[in-house]
Amino acid sequence: MNMIELKQVSRRYGEVQALAPLDFSVKQGEFVTLLGPSGSGKTTLLNVIAGMVTPSSGQIFVRGVDITNAPPSARGLGMVFQNYALMPHMTVFDNIAFPLRVRKMPKDEIRRKVRDVLDMVRLPDIAMRKPKELSGGQQQRVSLARCIVYNPALILLDEPLGALDKKLREQMQLEIRRLHAELGITMLNVTHDQDEALSMSERIVLMNQGRVEQIATPDELYRSPRTAFAASFIGTANLISGTVQDDIGTHVVVSTPLGMLRAATASQTMSRGAAVKLLVRPESVRMTSAHRPPDDHAVDGICHSGTLEDSITLGSVVRHHVRLADDTQIVVQQQGTRRRAEHERGAPVLVDWAPEDCQIILQD
Ligand SMILES: Nc1ncnc2c1ncn2[C@@H]1O[C@H](COP(=O)(O)OP(=O)(O)O)[C@@H](O)[C@H]1O
Ligand SMILES: [Mg+2]
């Protein structure tokens, strides 16, 4: 069942089309992330769902019921913001109890519920403190607890971890995932951080300039991006422009500034003359010294010569930046740091990749 469904929802601010008409749904119990650069319409979309912003067109359904014109309080949704939005003069207990008091719940039941959710977010001993006596991570746990306590159908999270440092952010990502799994609450999260989206979500709605660019699982989005934007936003992409020469079933031949390249067959038959981009991920590129070409070089025939411009160690992987003869820059990623010493900056190198690791991207 769909917990939430949007049909042709859009929002305009004067000349600015913050959201183009878009459709998507979130299934009951699912964890979905809206991912996109700043200004792509994520907050607008979340606020439209929450009822804080009126859509210019379209309909919103919660469990099949049209709530497009319902006030925020009648939607049964919870919201967690980046700036916590806790009431500063109230204790943690009172902050969490607030939505229950509004709902006129009996006192001892409120006490029991608040204790339970504080245990759930692993903050059992801070009920009597004020928000300013807590760290950022603790405040965010309290906002989560305040949301969970009244059992909303759906929790909307707008960059909830944006203000936390990297370590704490990763810890809170795990916490939110655990709560999602334990409670089975449907969650719609917003972030501009691709790593957060990839590590937390069951599905990602990738947004760009108020439009939905692609909806896919993290794995699909990385392996089969539909557009050049999606390919570059998720991970690092080597993109090479070209024109289709021939689609011979087993692979596609594409004319590029690097010469004729072979690409894996696309989901559709490619017609001759079609303008495309080719995507090769950095971990699919092999780099060897030009003085010691690989054994299969002659067989494959498509090694590209270039110059190693820089190598950067990122923990367990090394990224090499190679400038090819025609000025194309190729990023190469290798595992392990031992290999770094093998190639000096400025050294002549050869790069190549298997045709099946070269994907055709149809759209910009
Ligand atoms: N209240 C508003 N008035 C005018 N323009 C707005 C308003 N809210 C958002 N916008 C515009 O809509 C676009 C999307 O904004 P937003 O939804 O906040 O993006 P995101 O959350 O992805 O950063 C931006 O161009 C922004 O300037
Ligand atoms: Mg935003």
Q: Quick: pLDDT tens for 26-63.
A: 999 999 999 999 999 999 999 999 999 999 999 999 99
Tokens for 163?
A: 């203000």
The ligand that comes nearest to the alpha carbon of residue 15 is 1
Q: Which atom of ligand 1 is nearest to the CA of 11?
A: 12
List where CATH 3.40.50.300 sits in the chain.
Answer: 2-228
Ligand 2 centroid – CA 59 distance (Å): 22
According to the 3-state scheme, what is the secondary structure of the chain? CEEEEEEEEEEEECCEEEEEEEEEEEECCCEEEEECCCCCCHHHHHHHHHCCCCCCEEEEEECCEECCCCCHHHCCEEEEECCCCCCCCCCHHHHHHHHHHHCCCCHHHHHHHHHHHHHHCCCCCCCCCCHHHCCHHHHHHHHHHHHHCCCCCEEEEECCCCCCCHHHHHHHHHHHHHHHHHHCCEEEEEECCHHHHHHHCCEEEEEECCEEEEEECHHHHHHCCCEHHHHHHCCCCEEEEEEEEEECCCEEEEEECCEEEEEECCCCCCCCCCEEEEEECHHHCEEEECCCCCCCHHHHCCCEEEEEEEEEEECCEEEEEEEECCCCEEEEEEECCHHHHHCCCCCEEEEECCHHHCEEECEC
Q: Looking up tokens 């906002």, which residue turns up?
A: 143
For residue range 151-165, list pLDDT tens digits in order.
898 999 999 888 888
pTM recorded for the entire structure: 0.90
Q: What is the mean pLDDT of residues 302-306?
A: 89
Ligand 1 pocket, residue 311 CB under 6 Å = no
Tokens for 27?
A: 């299934």
List where CATH 2.40.50.140 sits in the chain.
Answer: 236-361
Atom 7 of ligand 1 has which residue's CA nearest to it? 13
Ligand 1 pocket, residue 205 CB under 6 Å = no
Say what the alpha-carbon torsion angle 171, 172, 174, 176 is, to the nearest 10 degrees: 170
Ligand 1 pocket, residue 41 CB under 6 Å = yes
pLDDT at 298: 44
Ligand 1 centroid – CA 191 distance (Å): 15
Local confidence band at 115 (pLDDT 50, 70, 90 cut-offs): very high
Atom 18 of ligand 1 has which residue's CA nearest to it? 43
CATH topology of domain 2-228: Rossmann fold (3.40.50)
What does the buried/exposed string (b/e) look like for 88-125 if buried means 16 or more CB atoms within 10 Å of the residue's CB? Answer: eeebbbebbbbbbeeeebeeeebeebbeebbebbebee
The ligand that comes nearest to the alpha carbon of residue 12 is 1
Ligand 1 pocket, residue 44 CB under 6 Å = yes
Ligand 1 pocket, residue 191 CB under 6 Å = no
Tokens for 187?
A: 């969650």
Tell me which of 3.30.1490.190, 2.40.50.140, 3.30.479.30, 1.10.10.60 is the CATH number of domain 236-361. 2.40.50.140
Q: Is the pLDDT of residue 101 over 90?
A: yes
For residue range 241-277, list pLDDT tens digits in order.
999 999 988 899 999 999 999 999 888 888 999 999 9
Q: What is the mean pLDDT of residues 108-116?
A: 95
Ligand 1 pocket, residue 225 CB under 6 Å = no
Ligand 1 pocket, residue 47 CB under 6 Å = no
Q: Which atom of ligand 1 is nearest to the CA of 47?
A: 17
pLDDT at 266: 84
pLDDT at 52: 94
Q: Which amino acid is at 15?
A: E
